[in-house]
Amino acid sequence: MLIALISAISSFHFSTLEEYYTGGLFLGPGNGISDGSVGVIGIFFLLGIFGNEWTTTIIFGSTRLVDVIVLGVTLANLAIMTLCIRGIFLHQYKEINFDPVTNTGDITGEALVVKDFIFQVLGYILSMSMLAGILYAGPDGKRLIDHPIDKDSGHNDMFDVMLLLCFLMQHLTCSVQVNHVSKYKYTPFKNRLNICLMLFSIIIFVRKAANPTFCPCSTVKWMLLITIISQWHYILNIVHEMSNALGIRILCVKDMSAKYAEDKIYSDNLD
């Protein structure tokens, strides 16, 4: 399930990375980003209406329906990521008529430098793997993935790590988009939140190695809180910079002192 989640969210990241190099997000019929969401939303509707017990139905042998769904999601998204990488390299061999002076011609993105691309892919995989590794840190029975579901709240500590994975993917994907628009080279190793989460993960691994009974639950919650605040701050900064570039008043405090003075004079006259 964890692999299925990472592959599902990663297809969005690699689709955006393809846009970074090709200059546009070209979605054909049957793609996993828009059309594929219909199937995902449909599964959520079924789970909401009928619960999730039906997913444990045995298909053949000991294989359950949920196992087939998870495998299908994983393979489908791995195929999407492979096609995205293929699209990046194929685009570099196309004859593109683009005039950078007049900014006219065929749509294109950033020039592909293989070394930079490898760092972008490895940086993403490394950070996601380190977060997922938090679940498996420690001996059997003492790992976060072994924690039972809380009987009172129904909460599982594994969910916090999975949510953290989703937030990190979204943050790095936004970074790709912003760097593409602003014409800055993207690298996950210059992303401060990404580096911060990697350092937190290393601290958890070290503490778990020194003390197998150490529970990283509270640390993961702090990581999640820092990620949410950082992402919100990052989005606000993007909106602010865009509004300044477009000359639109957004997130600006309007000086109301003149209006308050007029209102006070009017109120005094009424008195």
Last residue of a domain, one of 111, 137, 159: 111
- Residue 217 near residue 180, CB atoms below 8 Å: no
Do 206 and 140 belong to one domain? Answer: yes
Q: What is the mean pLDDT of residues 96-107?
A: 69
pTM: 0.81
The residue-averaged pLDDT of 127-148 equals 89
* Tens digit of each residue's pLDDT (9 = 90 or more) over 154-173: 788 889 999 999 999 999 99
Q: Is the domain of 60 the same as that of 148?
A: no
User: DSSP string covering 213-260, please?
Assistant: T---HHHHHHHHHHHHHHHHHHHHHHHHHHHHHHT---S-----HHHH
| Claim to verify: residue 16 and residue 55 sit in the same structural domain | yes
Q: How far apart are alpha carbons 221 and 218 in whole angstroms?
A: 5
CA distance 147 to 213: 12
The reported pLDDT for the residue numbered 92 is 84
The stretch 96-104 carries a mean pLDDT of 68
Q: Could you tell me if 135 and 38 lie in one domain?
A: no
Q: Over the stretch 182-211, which tens digit does the pLDDT of each residue have?
A: 888 899 998 999 999 999 999 999 999 999
pLDDT confidence band for 227 (50 / 70 / 90): very high
Q: Which residue has the higher pLDDT, 37 or 265?
A: 37
Q: Where a domain ends, among 63, 87, 111?
A: 111
Q: What is the pLDDT of residues 19-55, one digit of tens each?
A: 999 888 777 776 666 777 787 788 889 889 988 888 8
Residue 98 has pLDDT above 80, yes or no: no
Q: Are residues 260 and 126 in the same domain?
A: yes
Domain that holds residue 28: 1-111
CA 88 remoteness from chain centre: 20
For residues 135 and 266, membership in a common domain is answered with yes
Q: Are residues 121 and 84 in the same domain?
A: no
Q: In total, how many domains does the chain have?
A: 2
